[in-house]
Amino acid sequence: MPSNAAPAMAALRAQIDRLDTELLLLMEQRLALSRSIAAAKRKEPVAPMLRPDREEQVVARLAAQATRMPEESIVAIWRELMSLNLQAQRRTELVIHAPQHFGGIAGRASARFGVSAPVVHVDTVSQALAKARRFHAIAVIELSQHDDWWRVLAHDAQLRIIDDLRAPGGRGSALAIAAVEDSHLPRTRRCEVIEEGELVARLCRGETICPIAVAGNLRLCIAENLSWSKQAAA
């Protein structure tokens, strides 16, 4: 190795160290702003703090601006940052009911909603949904061919599916559910429980919507709007 290689490498590492320090300071400033937002919100009536639409928009905008960072890395990093900010505003638990694949589902839930989110295990679907209704939790409930519990969401005035946590092959997949307004749901990809007639009507209108589970007249569906992600990134 040339004699000047070691000093050059040391200088490059020093630059990385300085950037790491700057990044940490910026992240802590972001966290401080979240605490200020939480203080302001305490003067308002209790309301959900989750904004999946805002998360989606932030990630789409940053991914469009990136020239070197892979989109998957941007998604993982900023979801973790946004989770930290959410926990700074209000402790929000991941309440998991997964009798068959708890470990895998808990891992996917933490990857999606941040490792700082407290994980709580409950024995029943109703316990998980009850906690989510109080605005302080995200219910993560396992999907099973033998249990169509998701039917209860068809006419629930408060709870919405905010994401689906899919495992390879479908085994150990789950739905993430929270008390969120319709206007704050993701735009690019949604999970919905609808009646068969509505599914047929939406398919006839040309919507990209696919049923993934069936229970009587109800369908658990994934609807996609890929054109919205392009608008969000603009």
What value does the mean pLDDT take over residues 7-36?
Answer: 92
Q: What is the pLDDT of residue 228?
A: 54
Q: What is the mean pLDDT of residues 150-167?
A: 93
Q: What is the pLDDT of residue 108?
A: 95
Rounded CA separation 178/94 (Å): 10
Instruction: Say what the pLDDT of residue 225 is.
Output: 86
**Least confident interval from 38-52, 102-116, 130-144, 217-231:** 38-52
Q: Smallest Cα–Cα separation from 142: which of 174, 120, 110?
A: 174
Structure-token match 């700074």, residue found: 88
pLDDT of 57 higher than 90: yes
Q: Tokens 């990630």 belong to which residue?
A: 59
**Phi, psi (deg, nearest 5) at residue 68:** -125, -30
In the three-class reduction of DSSP (H, G, I as helix; E, B as strand; rest coil), residue 115 is classed as coil
Is pLDDT of 216 > 70? yes
Q: Which two tokens stand for residue 10?
A: 């040391």
d(CA 231, CA 57): 9
Which pLDDT value is given to residue 169?
74
- pLDDT category, 200, cuts 50, 70, 90? very high
Mean pLDDT across the chain: 89
Question: Residue 189: what residue type?
Answer: R
Question: Does the pLDDT value for residue 103 go beyond 80?
Answer: yes
Torsion angle, alpha carbons of 70, 76, 78, 83, to 10: 180
Strands 174-179, 137-142: parallel, antiparallel or unpaired by DSSP?
A: antiparallel
Position 178 confidence tier, pLDDT thresholds 50, 70, 90:
very high
Q: Which residue has the higher pLDDT, 38 or 85?
A: 85
Which H/E stretch holds residue 72? helix 71-89
